Structures are given as structure tokens and as C-alpha cells.
Amino acid sequence: MALIKPHGSDELNPLYVYDTAENEALQHEAKGLASIVVSSATAANAVMMGAGYFNPLTGYMNKADALSVATDMKTTSGLFWPTPVLNLVKDADGIKAGDRIALKDPNVEGNPILAVMDVKAVEEFSDEEMALMSEKVYAPAAGEAHPGVDSFNAQGKVCLSGSIKVLNFSYFQDEFPDTFRTAVEIRNEIKEHGWKKVVAFQTRNPMHLAHEELCHMAMDRLGCDGLVIHMLLGKLKKGDIPAPVRDAAIRKMVELYFPPNSAMVTGYGFDMLYAGPREGVLHAVFRQNMGATHFIVGRDHAGVGDHYGAFDAQTIFDNEVPAGALEIEIFKADHTAYSKKLDKVVMMCEAPDHVKEDFVLLSGTKVREMLGRGEAPPKEFSRPEVADILISYYQSLDK
């Protein structure tokens, strides 16, 4: 059985230059080109395009495509896409249409060359257009600060569009050699496993027992033979647990509590947008590109603060994503928690006879406080082996 098709094309077209001679020639050429140190968001977009996750994009969007995507979730040519993929700068610094330029990495010491770009257009968004994109993509709650909007606006209003050739994967390959995988590599691994139905789970945190059981539930109900735990390795917000700690905790859980060859632990190089529903759709697009047939969308998916309703990232697939736009299917999940009555983890919506006190529920703050004191949360909340890894991390912060 063939793997699910990538989004927008029959074959995956990663923009990374795999040919060693061509890559070296471009690296050499790039040293003589005009260059800019791009924003972290622009660098992350390059990594995602290089890895094949943003198939079938060939580079950064122009103004018309970005506005069309923000407003209608499709480019001017009609390609379904949920979020603008931009190279925004504060000042074009003499760069003009027709130039070939080097894009330098802001996140690696010495700002090495990340990609070579053929600039097709240099355009500027008005304040009104920036506000429109912020409103449509991030849908921030009125009068409340939104980290995604702040990050978007901080990049600048000048838009450089055009095709790119990606020369490296920034810090992700070096810092996370066991976890960072391209969409190409994940497709190959799925084929090697012989998996037919594959569900993907998005995380930016360690996985508690409820997350683990949600993955088991999805696999059982969908009849999946494979699970890809796919963690964000890029920039997070203050207080989030660093990727190496999350990685160790998740690997320990998979090793002990999943059957052999049923789950892959992988990661991707992208910065969190905190764009709620739109980011949920973007997550689905690039999971299809990496070969997953199903994707778990839970409560408050990709949300931040009180900007979105608990299930907005699920209803967008019903109300705004056109039929047939994506081949990947969504597994909609409610909050999962341990039921004291039933002595197992359940989806809360599937236990209508329960009251709040019937569940083992702990806030993130409470869990962090416990771990910081060296206390493991109850076994109904977290696997003890996972808690041990997190305790040692939190206790190291105090030293």
C-alpha cells in the first residue's frame, strides 16, 4: 500500500540541497552574495521547507499570497495553506527583485549561511495589512497581549519573496541528532516499519499518563499500526521545558509502555506560533507531508492564554477547511484524565456521570512545584520513571 500523498503534489519536494557538490558550490557562491541575518521565524520557515514539511512551497510567499492565505487560507493560485510563510525584514537594505542573496542563521553562532534565495519581489505591508494578518491568523482576544502577534510584528514589514535552496538545518541536526527528522526521513522510516495507518501526536511538553493513554486510544480506535510522537524543537515561551529533557522523558515512556516498533519519537525544527486553530491546520498539513494518515487534535491545541475556545482547533476543520483540501484525517480528542471511579484514563466527555472531583487533575503550576520539591506526582498522573527525569531537571534549576 502506498503512503498518503504529500500535500499539493504527487511527490515530496524538499528544498534542501542533498547533492554534496551542489551544496558546496552554493555555500561557496553565497560567500560572495549580499546577505541578511533573517529572523528566527524566517529561519524556521526555511528549515521546514528544506525538510519537506512545507511541501509544495518553493520559497517565501509574496504579499498577495500572504494576504490571500491570511484571509482565505489559499494562495492566489488556489493552493490550500493556513498561515503565511514569509521572510520579513525591517529594511531591504538595497536588495531588489532579481537579486540572489544569502540568508544567514540568527540562531547559530557566527550566523552561518542557511539558504540561498532568488528574490522575486520586495514589497512592504502597510500597518493595516499587518493588523489584518495578525487578526486573521492569530485571532487574538481583544485588548490582550499575544506572544505570536508580538513576534510576528517584531520582524518588520518589508517582505522578500522568492524561491530558496536550503543548505543546512540550522542547529536542529547538531543539537538533536537522535530526534530531529525531516519529512523525507519520517516517510522512509514509516515505509521501513511497514506501517499502513499512522497517527501523529504533537507535543511541546513532556507527556503525562493522560497523553500516553490518548495516543493508545487513538491507535486502538483508528486501527493504526504506528504512532509518530512529533515534538517541536524550536523556540518556545519562557518556562517551557527544554527539548533535551522532554526528549529523554518521552523516550523513557515509549521504551517502557509501548509495544516494540509501534512508536517513533521524532522532532521538527520550527518556532511555536501560538496561533491556535490556524496552527492546528498547519500541523495537519505538515503531518500529511511526513506520511501520517491521522493527526490528534486535542483541547486547546496550539493555544496560548485565553485567546481561543477549548475546541476551536477542532471546529476549524469542520467549518473552514474545504472538503478534500487535506487527505490526512483528524482524531478529535477531549481532555483526558484518570478516573478514580473507573480506575483508568478516560476522555472526560465520555464520562458524563463524573464530576470534577472524580478525576485526578493537577495544574501545570502544581506539578512544577511538586517536581521542584523532588516529589513525584501521583502515579495516576505521571509515570514514575518520567517523573524521575523531570525531578532531576527541576532540581538542577535551583543549584
Q: Sign of torsion, CA 326 305 219 233?
A: positive
Mean predicted lDDT score pLDDT of the chain:
95
Number of Cβ within a 10 Å radius of residue 190: 22
Burial readout 93-130 (b: 16 or more C-beta within 10 A, e: otherwise): eebeeebbbbbbbbbeeebebbbbbbbeebbebeeebb
Average of per-residue pLDDT across 297-318? 92
CA distances from 76 to 132, 285, 304, 361 (A): 17, 18, 30, 46
**Which of 125-129, 139-143, 190-194 has the least mean pLDDT?**
139-143
- Structural contact between residues 200 and 230, judged by C-beta atoms closer than 8 angstroms: yes
What local confidence, expressed as pLDDT, does residue 171 receive? 95
Phi, psi of 335 (to 5 degrees): -60, 135
Catalytic positions? 204-205
Amino acid, res. 128: E
**Model confidence pLDDT, tens digit, residues 364-379:** 889 988 998 999 999 9
Q: Of 105, 128, 90, 132, whose CA–CA distance to 35 is shortest?
A: 105
| Chain Cα centroid distance, residue 177 | 18
Average of per-residue pLDDT across 230-248? 82
CATH class of the domain comprising 20-173:
alpha beta
Query: What's the CA dihedral at 248, 250, 252, 257 to 10 degrees?
Result: 180
Average of per-residue pLDDT across 310-339? 95
Average of per-residue pLDDT across 182-189? 98
CA distances from 233 to 133, 142, 243 (A): 25, 30, 6
Average of per-residue pLDDT across 312-325? 96
**Residue 204 confidence class, pLDDT cut points 50, 70, 90:** confident
**Model confidence pLDDT, tens digit, residues 77-108:** 999 999 999 999 999 999 999 999 999 999 99
**Residue 237 confidence class, pLDDT cut points 50, 70, 90:** low
More confident site: 24 or 2: 24
**Which of 74-88, 238-252, 266-280 has the least mean pLDDT?**
238-252
* Structure-block grid coordinates of residue 354: 463524573
Residues with Cβ within 8 Å of residue 115, at least 6 apart in sequence: 15, 46, 50, 102, 103, 164, 165, 166, 167
Query: How far is Cα 348 from Cα 72, in angstroms, rounded to an integer?
Result: 34
* Structure-block grid coordinates of residue 152: 510576528
- Structural contact between residues 317 and 284, judged by C-beta atoms closer than 8 angstroms: yes
pLDDT of residue 14 exceeding 90, the answer is yes
Q: Of 42, 23, 52, whose CA–CA distance to 111 is shortest?
A: 42
Identical fold between 20-173 and 177-397 = no
Number of residues in the chain: 399
Q: Of 52, 294, 284, whose CA–CA distance to 182 is shortest?
A: 52
User: What does the domain layout of the chain look like in residue ranges?
Assistant: 20-173, 177-397
Q: The domain 177-397 is classified under which CATH number: 3.40.50.620, 3.40.50.970, 1.10.3330.10, 3.40.50.880?
A: 3.40.50.620
Average of per-residue pLDDT across 291-301? 95
What local confidence, expressed as pLDDT, does residue 55 receive? 98
pLDDT of residue 399 exceeding 70, the answer is no
